[in-house]
Amino acid sequence: MDTLDLDTRVVRRLAVRRQRLAGPSPVPGPDGLREVLRDLRCLQIDPINVVARSPLLVLWSRLGRFDPADLDALLWEERWLFEYWAHAASMVLTEDLPLHRRLMRRHPGGDSRMAAWVEANGELREHVLCRLRDAGPLPTDGFEDRAAVPWESTGWTAGRNVERMLELLWFQGHIMVAGRRGRTRLWDLADRRLPAWADRTELPDTEVEERSAEHALRALGAGRARDVRRHFVRERYGDAVATLERLVARGRAVRARVSGSDEPWFVHA
């Protein structure tokens, strides 16, 4: 397909439509939630709760009145969703597990300070995993602080050794959030929480990046490489331009020119 010529009005309309803020109303009930969440691909978790929790406000703005129990059922009973790190702490689709497994495999990546801290605190790590194996799900205060070396930080995480270990194991995919008591997370082993149907395939990096870029592009409506890099799984692309060009070559994306912009834009096919 030739390059599309778009003006900013069309780009805005695409963004609003693809974010499900316009267009046909979703079907009611859990199927409508799935429909919207498949388009958004992740639902950011935010502790701010003035009118209602942020995820509920996001869904209400797309669905209108809905039963929050349906969201809880997708998350905790069906496990169609799970909590993980997308561009921020989010509810993500379990069918996207192969895309998130790359971060799980690589964390803490190039963070040598975190890697050294984990290595020095093997006893704490094993204590957390054994406690969950024997007694999970458990809240953060269900573990002893057996850190040999305390976590040092100038921020709010200083000395919070159990919390840091739990978050590390969460990022690595060893444990998952199994439920909540108010804002308190309950932790359990990932092998016990993931449904049997979850795809545990380890995909090559190029396929992870292509699938992630497709999800981001569909949710954005139209975007540049830098927009795609910052959306869905933020900054997990080796070369977002090359990824988008591969999608164009495969007929999955279309190049676009946007009036007033010198950068190349892309639209999902």
Q: How do residues 161-175 score in pLDDT, each as one tens digit?
A: 999 999 999 999 999
pLDDT band for 156, please (50, 70, 90 cuts): confident
Please check the confidence at residue 197 and state whether its pLDDT lies above 70.
yes
Model pLDDT for residues 15-46, shown as the tens digit of each residue: 999 999 999 999 989 999 999 999 999 999 98
More confident residue, 158 or 262: 262
Please check the confidence at residue 48 and state whether its pLDDT lies above 80.
no
d(CA 10, CA 5): 10
- Record the pTM: 0.93
Model pLDDT for residues 236-253, shown as the tens digit of each residue: 888 999 999 999 999 999
pLDDT band for 1, please (50, 70, 90 cuts): low
Model pLDDT for residues 122-143, shown as the tens digit of each residue: 999 999 999 999 999 999 999 9
pLDDT band for 157, please (50, 70, 90 cuts): confident
Model pLDDT for residues 71-112, shown as the tens digit of each residue: 999 999 999 999 999 999 999 999 999 999 999 999 998 888
**To the nearest 10°, the Cα dihedral for 75, 190, 173, 74?**
-10
Instruction: Return the pLDDT at 49.
Output: 78
d(CA 169, CA 191): 13
| Residue ranges of E strands in the chain | 4-6, 42-44, 81-85, 89-93, 175-181, 184-189, 253-258, 265-268
Please check the confidence at residue 158 and state whether its pLDDT lies above 80.
no
**To the nearest 10°, the Cα dihedral for 142, 163, 129, 148?**
-100
